[in-house]
Chains A and B, each alone.
Chain A
């Protein structure tokens, strides 16, 4: 298992390597706040329910309130993480999950240890010790995670078919050069490809100046990777250049006449 900037890699005995995205500090803190709110609200509601009992049986009611407050505040995370496999309400809301460092399911003792060492992580206030440890740790582990061999990961959202959001491709001058298209697919990093796609999908959200600057930079990146001939790029705006490149990267070739029979027209972006 290796750790990288925001995640860890797990090498399985089957020879497959997986990477898990670690949860960020802010997201974890937000999940903790939600959990605290849930605990606080449930205890307040419980105390209100016990008001009539306090009048009739003050000793019994006080002892019940003391015990239940302790059990809920201490056991909330332990019970939920055990039954929901590493998740509490806050973690579910922020798509986080506690996992064994080796990618295996959590054991009960790991959950107990990580949650009891929380009292040291929470020192002196607002999880300062735990926060500093997370910040320093390569795997974003607070002391409890370190002792229990656990990590908190971010669960990715289910991927929808994004192709439906693209307009059908009319004409892409880059496709006339399949060897350059293949080179482009080979050289572009996954992150850059997604960034370009995202920029196109959100083009209407940008103000004009920012949009022009953004597409200029992305187009320059693509141009540096692969040089398409002038006849393929003549008259293309930066945005259209990016649109063509993204089309090459994400969409399969549109079946049509053989390339030899196709004469590209100048000044045609699509």
Chain B
């Protein structure tokens, strides 16, 4: 096709400018709303630019013009053909009481695997420390955990919480951010088909096992439970939920027994993964507050049985939350989402 490029540009440029300004206006708003007349105009301009792109296909000149028109058309195409809801309609109450527990149950198998990997690590770590107590220096990379458990308990009880007084807020912030970073790593390693996440969960389990057996052997079980349960009752499940999200991602990548293409599988799990991660963040914020303001205080200031009871209560509530909330009432047509389910 031979066209007069100069005339073509002179005639069409006002339409391109109009479409560009319309798209730029849409870009500036996170939740844009168009009137019916604007939508019709957008569609008209999109079709017109599409036609211009087609006309330029047969012309050997102006590759830049073609690239520009294509980029304009593709932006308009995205706005027009998007069928998914762009607005982030987030109802925190519905999400907390329905979406999160329901999503958790729908992918419970992934949680089981994450828990199993951690438990296996704990058993391994505990067994190693029982067989060879000297391995503690290798398995525990943190200097504060290298100390003899009985010595540490005497020191903590002698301080009566004075060593953490005035540092609770910063401690809380540190625990929250540190644990959230670990959770992000656990999730992100799902990109290795979940293998990296399982290894990280196993390693986390090893640390737990070593510390637990070390304190139990030293006869400091009450201190251990009082120290770990209040925040660990929420923190450890939070890390496991992060592992659950990573396994959902890994499972989608593997696509075993699925007839759907990879892109479709990944598209489906997006909202599930984000639900998990938001839930993990919330759990870790709570665990961080408890760890800084409660877990670090010991006897005689705070009896161990109070701390243990607090931890048990948290755990029971967490189990009830995940197992009972968000269940459809009898006769309701609400169903547990089956898409992208980890089975």
Contact = CB atoms under 8 A, between A and B. Distances in A.
Contacts of A113: 270, 273-274
B6 A18 contact: no
Contact of A66 (B6, B173, B266): B173
A108 B71 CA distance: 22
Interface size, A (range) = 35 or more
Contacts of A83: 30
Nearest to A195: B63
B81 A13 contact: yes
Interface in A133-190: 143-144, 146-149, 153, 155-159, 161, 163, 182, 185-190
Interface in A78-126: 82-85, 99-101, 103-105, 107-110, 112-113, 116-120
Of the candidates B4, B53, B67, B263, the one having the most CB atoms from chain A within 10 angstroms of its own CB is B67
A143 to B, nearest CB: 5
Interface residues of B, number: 66
Interface string B151-173: 00000000000000011111011
Interface in B1-17: 2, 4-7, 9
A252 B7 contact: yes
Interface in B57-100: 59-68, 70-71, 73-74, 77-79, 81-82, 84, 86, 88
Interface of B: 2, 4-7, 9, 20, 27, 30, 47, 50, 53-54, 59-68, 70-71, 73-74, 77-79, 81-82, 84, 86, 88, 166-170, 172-174, 176-177, 180-181, 184-185, 187-192, 196, 249, 253, 263, 266-267, 270-271, 273-274, 277
15 contacts: A16-B54, A16-B73, A60-B169, A67-B177, A70-B177, A70-B181, A85-B27, A105-B78, A109-B271, A109-B273, A110-B270, A120-B196, A156-B71, A194-B62, A250-B5
Interface of A: 10, 12-14, 16, 18-21, 58-60, 62-64, 66-67, 69-70, 74, 82-85, 99-101, 103-105, 107-110, 112-113, 116-120, 143-144, 146-149, 153, 155-159, 161, 163, 182, 185-194, 197, 249-252
